[in-house]
Chains A and B, each alone.
Chain A
Amino acid sequence: MNMTDRLNPLLVKDVRSRMRGGRSFLMLSFFLLFAGGISYLVYQSTASISSYDFAIVSSGRIGQSVLAALLVTSHILVLLIVPLLTLNAVSGEVERKTYDMLLATPLSPRQIVDGKIGGALAFAALLLFGVLPLVSIASFFGGFTLADFGNGVLVLLMTVICVALLGLAASALFRRTALAVLVTYGIILSLTLVHMFVVVSGASLLNPNHAPPAWWFIFNPVVAQLNSIGVIHDKAMLLAGGRPVWYGYMLFALALSLLSYIVAWRAVRQRQRWHFGRRDWLVVVVALLILVVAGALFAVSGSGQANATSPAMAKPTPVPMYYAKPMPTALPGHGTGAGTSAAVTPLPLPTLQP
């Protein structure tokens, strides 16, 4: 009995072939160089600004900035790179004329989807593991807790899974890589850049004196990433019941992932693509159950914190952070002009004040 016998054959094949191509090595190097490079630049600039302040304050600030830079850069790279791992998963096989042979094997549609997504996630995990040592460097400076870091990684992983599934669904649905690329990156762009533009312009159109409602931000992975590590978590970033925006993002991304999974699972077939048999409904029910459980967790998370303080704020900060100067945020047009806008109420003061 071989150890790998139980594994999905597609996963084994994927790992075997993917690790060989020079492309993977390039991707890995690029990812690390980019994430590391940006973080270094952020470190440099924060360190030079902070040198006017107390050493202890600037240390925490540097740590948080470097962590934010690392995670946000990784996040953006994930949004760009991870879809590439699945975008040709089915369409590429159709184009390379291997798909008929794959379909003629006993692999079920779910095994095909699981194998393809498994292979992609395995490689994505490799990319992200490379970033870990850099995080440990950021932790030298302090400024964030293990929980901050954990939350940040959670958001990042959710995005990885979500965009990998999104790419796979598009690939299986359209059967043409070019079209799948267009649609997938179209959606990703809509959730990030287009989203920011719409939120900013929409907010000023609707009600120039108020910040947009917090739930507008739950669709944006980059905002969620920053929010999760406590970089932007002012009052405007709290959902009803004091839940931070990134909780909402997790729920949204989970829903999108489940939807993509189901689309992919149907679309990989050649026959009876949209015909749901009795056992097929089970998959749908399980997906809905997962969503319901996640929704319940979300609901529970808000109870008892109705006074609009996020958990991130309630906890003590190990190294004092410099709150009086707001961190540069990824929200252009928001957070500027403090005093005129109700949304940018200064943050509740941390345990230690400068």
Chain B
Amino acid sequence: MSDSVLQVRHLTKHYGKIKALEQLDLDLPRGSVFGLVGPNGAGKTTALRIIAGVLEPDAGEIMIDGRLLDGDHTYWAAKIGYMPDFFGVYPDLMAWEYLDFFARTYRLPAVQRARRIDELLELVDLTEKKYTFVQALSRGMQQRLCLARALVHDPELLLLDEPASGLDPRARVAFRTLVKRLQQLGKTIFVSSHILLELAEICDQVAILEKGELKAAGTMAEIEPQLTKQHRTLRVRSLDELSSLQAFLVQQDGVLSVRQDGDCLEIDFGGDEAAIATLLQRVVAAGFRLLSFHEISSNLEDLYLQLTKGETQ
């Protein structure tokens, strides 16, 4: 077994009938950047909050460095730096005081605290805003300040919930560089996002979550075939009436949906190549006169979008 910083086993959390998380298993290798991706309501925030120790799961275990999340809150807090998706800042505090407050909760002595605050402000490019009141910072700046505050105690594991959501393109690039730098410093980073491509660039591994369930997990290279197995798009042209062909197609195995696109039909299909061949045989055997039948290669993001339809529960 590889060296995991964080192990999550059978994590389950229900809100009434809504299954926010269902039997989630995750392993975060030490020093990796791990992406958690999924549409709205997939359960990303729920997972991260539980891991951060601020939400109680219904069932399941979480281990950090082999130690169970239980009563020893201090140990847990020292290991984890958590940045929530929606965050607020305390008003009437200056940027440095905001960081100073969190540094104090970790009992950093004054001299070290002052040095750390300067380092962090430098890291997130807010040195000039040291004496600005936090409510006067822009949203993106507040977000960077929040990231700095998650780093204040030099944690081993960073939990970042949609850290790039409010950032402008330049800041996004800066953020990616920052993540890489933190990784070089030996930190393990667990980051969530709606957008697979955004994570693809920085993550060593990703997990795709929908409706609280893990759809796929692994390196990008491992994930792509997993996604295509679950979803591809086929395009069919025929001399016959499209509506009758459509009616026939929707009844076949593996066909998820069929829609008309000009003079073609597009089939959402879940299955491997053998299944595609079988489908073609059936269509021909049923007497439809086909002009063409082929798979449209979809990019990663399309695959992901179709896999996770973003249906709400």
A9 lies within 8 A of B101 (CB): yes
A17 lies within 8 A of B91 (CB): yes
A104 lies within 8 A of B78 (CB): no
A-contact 0/1 string along B88-105, CB 8 Å cutoff:
111111000100011011
A9 to B103, CA, bound (A): 9
A1 to B107, CA, bound (A): 12
- B74 close to chain A: CB less than 8 A: yes
B89 lies within 8 A of A271 (CB): no
B88 lies within 8 A of A106 (CB): no
Given A13-B97, A18-B92, A100-B49, CB of A107 within 8 Å of CB of B56? no
Neighbouring A residues of B84 by C-beta, 8 Å: 97, 100-101
A107 to B76, CA, bound (A): 11
Chain B: CB-nearest residue to A106: B77
Neighbouring B residues of A270 by C-beta, 8 Å: 54-56
A1 lies within 8 A of B110 (CB): yes
Q: Which of A63-98 contact B (CB under 8 A)?
A: 93, 96-98
State how many angstroms separate the Cβ of A95 from the closest Cβ of chain B. Answer: 8
Given A13-B93, A106-B74, CB of A97 within 8 Å of CB of B56? no
- B149 close to chain A: CB less than 8 A: yes
B92 lies within 8 A of A20 (CB): yes
Neighbouring B residues of A107 by C-beta, 8 Å: 105
A12 lies within 8 A of B90 (CB): no
Given A1-B109, A108-B73, CB of A97 within 8 Å of CB of B54? no
- B80 close to chain A: CB less than 8 A: yes
A272 lies within 8 A of B92 (CB): no
A96 to B82, CA, bound (A): 17
- B131 close to chain A: CB less than 8 A: no
Looking at A18, A93, A98, the one whose CB has the most chain B CB atoms below 10 A away is A98
A5 lies within 8 A of B82 (CB): no
- A133 close to chain B: CB less than 8 A: no
A101 to B97, CA, bound (A): 15
Given A1-B110, A105-B77, CB of A100 within 8 Å of CB of B105? no
State how many angstroms separate the Cβ of A88 from the closest Cβ of chain B. Answer: 12
State how many angstroms separate the Cβ of B122 from the closest Cβ of chain A. Answer: 21
- A2 close to chain B: CB less than 8 A: yes
A271 lies within 8 A of B53 (CB): yes
State how many angstroms separate the Cβ of B23 from the closest Cβ of chain A. Answer: 20
A9 lies within 8 A of B73 (CB): no
- B71 close to chain A: CB less than 8 A: yes
A17 to B93, CA, bound (A): 6
Given A98-B89, A100-B84, CB of A105 within 8 Å of CB of B52? no
Chain B: CB-nearest residue to A111: B105
Q: Which of A114-149 contact B (CB under 8 A)?
A: none
- B86 close to chain A: CB less than 8 A: yes
Neighbouring A residues of B101 by C-beta, 8 Å: 9-10, 12-13
Query: Which A-B residue pairs are the 4 nearest by beta carbons?
Result: A2-B110, A9-B104, A17-B92, A96-B88
Question: Would you list 7 pairs from A and B whose C-beta atoms are within 8 A, ordered by A residue?
Answer: A1-B110, A16-B97, A100-B49, A106-B105, A106-B107, A108-B73, A270-B56
B: residues with CB less than 8 A from A are 49, 52-56, 71, 73-74, 77-78, 80, 82-84, 86-93, 97, 101-102, 104-107, 109-110, 146, 149
A: residues with CB less than 8 A from B are 1-2, 5, 9-10, 12-13, 16-18, 20-21, 93, 96-98, 100-101, 103-108, 270-272, 277
Given contacts A101-B82, A101-B83, A106-B77, 4 further A-B contacts (CB under 8 A): A2-B110, A17-B90, A98-B90, A101-B102
